[in-house]
Amino acid sequence: MTHPPLMSTIIAIGLIPVAFLFIHAFVSGLKKGSLHPVTGTTAILCDIGMSLGYMIARSLHLSIAVGPAAEGYIRKLFWIHGPISGLVILLEVAVLITGINNYRLKKRDIERPTLHGKLSRTLFYLWWVAFLTGEALYLGRYVL
């Protein structure tokens, strides 16, 4: 077990409230087929801010101890977590853009799901994969 970098600890703990925001946004938006606008936007902006901040800090090696090469299941989690996290960020941007566009155009079509609704649902499930693999990486690398 290696000592966890402060930045990794902040992100691992900081994303837990974001998970609750995503749950609220998803559950309250089920009838509309899209995320709840306020909690969904807050969750997405918090996640993008933390994720991009962590990725930039990690790439610049600011207060992030890279440590020895990962072994076993940790290496597999890295290969799953990295690409999915990148895809989640792209989906978050797409959900924000389509949500703003729907709001501007006053699209309130509950009967037929919009692109925003479909992207929101996909984002919700992929976000959880990225979140849980990230938490598993933190626990496996620094706690267990």
Summarised one tens digit per residue, pLDDT across range 3-25 is 888 888 999 999 999 999 999 98
> Distance (Å, rounded) from C-alpha 120 to C-alpha 32?
11
- Residues sharing a CB contact under 8 Å with residue 100, sequence separation 6 or more, in sequence order: none
> Distance (Å, rounded) from C-alpha 73 to C-alpha 11?
21
**CA neighbor of 32 nearest in space, from 132, 85, 103:** 103
Amino acid (one-letter) located at 59 = S
Three-state secondary structure string covering 46-104: HHHHHHHHHHHHHHHCCCCCCCCCCCHHHHHHHHHHHHHHHHHHHHHHHHHHHHHHHHH
33-52, pLDDT tens digit by residue? 667 888 999 999 999 999 99
Structure pTM? Answer: 0.83
Give the mean pLDDT of 103-119. 71
**CA neighbor of 117 nearest in space, from 99, 101, 131, 135:** 99
- Angle at which helix 115-138 crosses helix 6-28, to 10 degrees, equals 150
pLDDT of residue 137: 87
